[in-house]
Amino acid sequence: MAYLGMDLNRFILEEERKHPDATGSLSMALTAIETAAKIIAAHVRMAGLADILGQAGKTNIQGEEVQKLDEFSNEVMIKHLSDSGQFFALASEELDEPLCSPKGVNGKYVIAFDPLDGSSNIDVNVNIGTIFSIHRRVKGTEEDFLQEGYKQVAAGYIIYGSSTMFVLTTGNGVNGFTLDPSVGLFLLSHPNMKIPEKGKIYSINEANSKKWIDSELTDYIQTLKDEGYTSRYIGSMVADVHRTLIKGGMFGYPADKKNRSGKLRLLYEAAPMAFIIEQAGGKATDGRTDILQIKPTDIHQRTPVFLGSKKEINQLIEFIK
Ligand code: P6P
């Protein structure tokens, strides 16, 4: 077999070796996420055939119930994370309350995740993704989910698109791995990812501008337009953040009169993406406070989010002050 280079499994083990006191627990935790991601990726690829296989929520040609992809993804994540035994508790966008897995009774970590963010885009074949955030177990209660983002042990996302990419940080930079389905390995395709100091793209749903609580944002966006920026907005956070990480610029979802705390969730959307962006040399804020400094009070709380290159985010903060 041709030399494939570094893959995610070997990368995780080599990272573990850098920490003499490591027990292998985080490695097993990340490997469980990797396995779940491969299964979800295989099913996302089949989503386009739902009409032939049977629309999600209906029965397929074998008369079987076809699960909605976000429900399926949630079940796959719960099964693999629980079976790993590394997580004391799991919090999911799809669950009202956290789950404690019997096998995780001695787990060193808790994990919050969005199993399939942007799932409303599936039927138009737009990129979607899984987002996760891992914290240490401290008290062994639900409060362990309510730690500030800067305390995350690891965070990442898997984007299901023209290729499937796993983007990961364990607090020591950001690395991107692309799935080679022919061998079933995530290969290191984007080592040591760094966001450009500035970009040429702004990403925000301008249709909401009349409802934005911070009306100064309209002047900020106009300034970017005057500086020659272009607009790109996919409406799938993982895709918009991934492009921002690679190309630079800014992505934002402000608070508005409909979503007065913003639409995106702090624990399993804003905080993990903020950790990734800051580890890649960018910045993430709610407009007034760094996302990673916000102390959560509720597992499903929402927050305004602005993240991206330092130039654009520092410029935004000056407008909102
Ligand atoms: P809007 C997808 O539904 C999602 O949760 C994020 O992935 C995305 O960034 C946002 O909502 C898009 O929201 O209101 O612009 O359609």
Per-residue pLDDT tens digits for 217-228 = 999 999 999 999
The pTM of this model reads: 0.94
Of the pLDDT bands very low, low, confident and very high (cuts 50, 70, 90), residue 69 is: confident
Per CATH, which fold does 8-190 belong to?
Fructose-1,6-Bisphosphatase; Chain A, domain 1 (3.30.540)
Reported as a single tens digit per residue, the pLDDT across 130-180 is 999 999 999 999 999 999 999 999 999 999 988 999 999 999 999 999 999
SS3 82: helix
Of 70, 93, 117, 123, which is best to mutate to test ligand 1, by the most ligand atoms within 8 angstroms of its C-beta? 117
Q: Are 287 and 214 in contact (CB under 8 A)?
A: yes
Concatenating the DSSP letter of every residue in 183-238 gives TTEEEEEE-S----SS-SEEE--GGGGGGBS-THHHHHHHHHHHTT-EE---S-HH
* Nearest CA owner, ligand 1 atom 4: 118
171 CB within 6 A, ligand 1: no
CA 128/CA 43 separation, integer angstroms: 12
**Architecture label for domain 201-320:** 3-Layer(aba) Sandwich (3.40)
Please determine, for residue 59, whether its predicted confidence score (pLDDT) is greater than 90.
no
Spacing, Cα 237 to ligand 1 middle (Å) = 6
Within the chain, all domains assigned CATH 3.30.540.10 are found at 8-190
129 CB within 6 A, ligand 1: no
b/e sequence 276-306, b meaning 16+ C-beta within 10 Å: bbbbbbbbbbbbeeebbebebeebbebbbbb
Residue 195 CA: distances (Å) to CA of 57, 175, 245, 280: 40, 12, 5, 6
252 CB within 6 A, ligand 1: no
Within the chain, all domains assigned CATH 3.40.190.80 are found at 201-320
